[in-house]
Structure 1
Amino acid sequence: ARRLQRGDTQAKVELKQLLLHIIKREFPSIESNNVSPDDLLELLRVFSCRQADLVLHWIRVGYVQGNMNSDNCLLCGKTMDYGPFGFMEQYDPLWTPFTSDPAKNFSFEKQDVAAQINL
């Protein structure tokens, strides 16, 4: 996208190829050989539902993904990261296993916000 903004003519072709690959691999319900605005909206809708479902189940069992940045979120609705992450032993809405988060941006009660920001 940055290359496209700088006027790189090949960037648009490559971005479209990437989006088609993503749709084919992770969003088979979107039947498209082209990337239309409607396809992208559907991709965002499905990804949003996947993220919401993931975080809902984390909250349900007391799991905290202590550093849920966008680079840790997969389009398939999963996350990958080496941590820090963990389960609360007793309820504390501000608990986070991420000791480098003094603002508690990734605390138990803010996981839904972190997921939303990643969209």
Structure 2
Amino acid sequence: MAPGYGDVRLSLETIPDTVSLEEPFDITCKITNCSERTMDLVLEMCNTNSIHWCGVSGRQLGKLHPSSSLFLTLTLLSSVQGLQSVSGLRLTDTFLKRTYEYDDIAQVCVVSSKVQA
């Protein structure tokens, strides 16, 4: 594992390049425990002005052992057209009461869902 990732690494496995305005889309995240101890993680999703998370925030992800990963599919919705940044994921390790913030994870192009004549 390359240095500089900290205790928890979040990477995107799948994300669409282009999404339709005000229509839900899915992303798949991979969460990896880079520390040498077991973590008990809670997922919190914070909306931004343009990107809104769909689902339950404050969800328990459970224990993640050292060097282990879990995959998570999350649903989002954009209320603004153009190139939008996906931000607002928070992971909290309940054992150490430490929160890891993930902003500017990726960008998606949001286009109007109406067909232009």
Q: TM-score range by the shorter chain?
A: under 0.3
Larger Rg, first or second structure (1 or 2): 1
- Which is strand-richer, 1 or 2? 2
TM-score of the aligned structures, taking structure 2 as reference length? 0.24
Q: Whose RCO is larger (CA < 8 A, sep 6+)? A: 2
